[in-house]
Chain A
Amino acid sequence: MTATIELEQVVKTYGGKTAVDRLNLTIESGSVVALLGPNGAGKTTAISMMLGLRRPTSGVIRLLGKDPIIPSTRNHIGAMLQQVNLPEKLSVTEILKLFQSYYEHPLDIDPLIQLAGLEEERKSLASRLSGGQQRRLQFALAMTGNPKVLFLDEPTTGMDVTSRRLFWDRLRALSREGNRTIVLTTHHLEEADSIADRVILIQHGRKVADGSPAQLKALAGFRYIVFTAGPTVPADHISTLPGVKSVEWSGRRARVQTQDSDRLLRLLLERYQDLTDIEVTSGGLEDAFISLTTVSDPTGRDALPRSDALEHPLGSSRRGQKEEAASQ
């Protein structure tokens, strides 16, 4: 495996604010890497620097072994950015043809249209497409140069649930063919969990965790014991048991967070007869995310409280609905 992207001590400041703070990163070719973090964590800034759209304040970035701003390097990359509106008065096919002219060895129109799933809309004006369709066309644009490295900045923003799953399937297929490297930013944990083979957690411009989704879940070190407590179980007592980190109740259903699920489970079974439907899980990436981003804040001042964290970086379902409504 060779390094496709390398960042050494990369810093980016805007008017005294540090967006990216001493970021070190090596991304191997053929990997699918998700930069995950809350909004404003510095993911987009990091990706723009890898693309050569912004220059780092200090530090070194190498893309395919070279400075990202070199045009010959750009023949081998493709990018899907946030907040791009397609030119007016041009059809889907026409925009793709225009984009083809920028690259030395572009892909043909038909496979690109297929990739975007826009067979029906190939003659429609791109500016008239729905939000989700426009995003898919932008994905096809990113693929036009048959890139070795594909950068996707929040790729599924504006897509509904069905398009999103379809998009993930396409992406997984693409990552398997050739030795394509895919770097995406997302605040959807589900997205990172389902397509990335490596997740880099970024907060306040710093890397706070780096590993496979499974490693990250393990890194958080928590397991969850879920059960339904009968009427004889005193709810208040559960949280005072040794080894219990926190308890969430929904009705009589408890979700207990702990670092040693074996010992706690024995204790629970010893003390209470009336526990039913018991499950032990390692928690999702979501739980790992919350515990990692909360613990890692050095000042502790703006550590995300649990409820806030749930709404802010993980508000995927809510945001998703809003975006869907807006795109229709």
Chain B
Amino acid sequence: MNKAMTQVQWEIVRQFRNRRFFIFTVLLPLFYYFLFVKIEGGNMRVAGTAWKSYFMMSMAAFSAVGAALNGLSYRIAFERTQGWMTLVRTTPLRPVYYVIGKVAAQLVVSATMVLVLFLAGTFGEGVHLSVAQWVLSWLWLTVGTIPFIALGITIGLIAGMEASGMIATGIYLILSVLGGLWFPTAIMPKLLQDIAKWTPTYRFADIAWHIGANTDPHVSDLAVLAGYLVVFLGLAQWAYRSRREDVA
């Protein structure tokens, strides 16, 4: 257990020392949050709740997805192509613990990011939610990043060091815009709304929006996300098998 904690600890340290990560997943969501709440007015009603609460969930999701995609894919690509993974394979560490260490660290990072946005919402804009709503949405926005962590790992396994950063950031921004994290899907044209419903980002945030609005989330949200998780895990496994040399 101690050993697992050590790995998680240094993984988190690496994440937070990464400047790109800090800009994209900490500063950018905070900046957008305050900017758009200021522009639109925090008490505008969106999907049955206040804009400042709705958009806090959007930006928390944006931040958590970014944490899963941005730093992780690059670290995996680096460790895979620069011989580090091979060196670790000569140690007694079992590959499954290597993966678990990375996923656990990423969950801690996601939880922290969401907390930062929640604090900004509460103290910066005066968002009011019940304790149950806070806890549930916090837990969901943390655990719900698992499909995106799987996607981050997949990108790192497929792409090289340079490419993984660009691909991850590209996918991140496109999914965020299409999934309605930047602008609510309600103001999108019909075609884009239909597309949004198929993005994992929309499904991920939709559950948080429902918790924020105190309405029941759709089962289809979970189903679509689970589908994505299966696809990403399959891709990750395929990439791992095809990219490694003939190993044990």
Give me 22 A-to-B residue pairs in the complex whose CB atoms sit less than 8 angstroms apart, sorted by A's number.
A53-B247, A54-B247, A55-B247, A68-B248, A69-B248, A71-B94, A81-B86, A84-B86, A85-B78, A85-B82, A85-B83, A87-B79, A87-B84, A88-B14, A88-B78, A90-B10, A90-B13, A98-B10, A102-B3, A102-B88, A102-B92, A141-B87
Cβ-based interface call for A145 (8 A): yes
**Complex-state Cα separation, A227 to B75, whole angstroms:** 61
Cβ-based interface call for B220 (8 A): no
**B92 close to A75 (CB less than 8 A):** yes
**Given contacts A52-B248, A53-B86, A55-B248, A94 and B92 within 8 Å (CB-CB):** no
Cβ-based interface call for A51 (8 A): yes
**A71 close to B92 (CB less than 8 A):** yes
Closest to B88 in A: A102
Of A69, A86, A94, A100, the contact of B84 (CB 8 Å cutoff): A86
Given A81-B90, A87-B75, 19 additional A-B pairs, CB 8 A: A53-B86, A53-B90, A53-B245, A54-B246, A71-B92, A71-B93, A74-B90, A74-B92, A75-B92, A79-B90, A83-B83, A84-B84, A84-B86, A85-B82, A89-B17, A97-B10, A98-B10, A101-B3, A101-B7
Chain B residue contacts of A75, Cβ below 8 A: 92
B-side interface mostly: helix
**Complex-state Cα separation, A210 to B213, whole angstroms:** 77
A-side interface mostly: loop
Cβ-based interface call for A99 (8 A): yes
Cβ-based interface call for A104 (8 A): yes
What is the size, in residues, of chain B's interface with A at 8 Å between Cβ atoms?
29
Cβ-based interface call for B6 (8 A): yes
**A90 close to B14 (CB less than 8 A):** yes
Chain A residue contacts of B130, Cβ below 8 A: none
Chain A residue contacts of B7, Cβ below 8 A: 98, 101
Chain A residue contacts of B10, Cβ below 8 A: 90, 94, 97-98
Chain A residue contacts of B17, Cβ below 8 A: 89
Of B13, B86, B87, B88, the contact of A89 (CB 8 Å cutoff): B13
Chain A residue contacts of B88, Cβ below 8 A: 102
Chain A residue contacts of B2, Cβ below 8 A: 101
Chain B residue contacts of A168, Cβ below 8 A: none
Interface centre among A55, A74, A98, A101 (most CB of B within 10 A): A101
**B6 close to A89 (CB less than 8 A):** no
**A55 close to B14 (CB less than 8 A):** no
**Complex-state Cα separation, A51 to B88, whole angstroms:** 12
Chain B residue contacts of A69, Cβ below 8 A: 248
Cβ-based interface call for B237 (8 A): no
Chain B residue contacts of A103, Cβ below 8 A: 91-92
Cβ-based interface call for B122 (8 A): no
Closest chain-B Cβ to A56's Cβ sits at a distance in Å of 10
Cβ-based interface call for A39 (8 A): no
**A54 close to B18 (CB less than 8 A):** no
**Complex-state Cα separation, A51 to B89, whole angstroms:** 9
Interface centre among A69, A75, A83, A89 (most CB of B within 10 A): A89
Chain B residue contacts of A100, Cβ below 8 A: 6
Closest chain-B Cβ to A63's Cβ sits at a distance in Å of 11
**Complex-state Cα separation, A79 to B84, whole angstroms:** 12
Cβ-based interface call for A209 (8 A): no
Cβ-based interface call for A77 (8 A): yes
**Given contacts A74-B90, A74-B91, A75-B92, A101 and B83 within 8 Å (CB-CB):** no
Cβ-based interface call for A26 (8 A): no
Cβ-based interface call for A72 (8 A): yes
Closest chain-B Cβ to A267's Cβ sits at a distance in Å of 56
**Complex-state Cα separation, A74 to B95, whole angstroms:** 13
Chain B residue contacts of A90, Cβ below 8 A: 10, 13-14
Chain A residue contacts of B246, Cβ below 8 A: 54-55
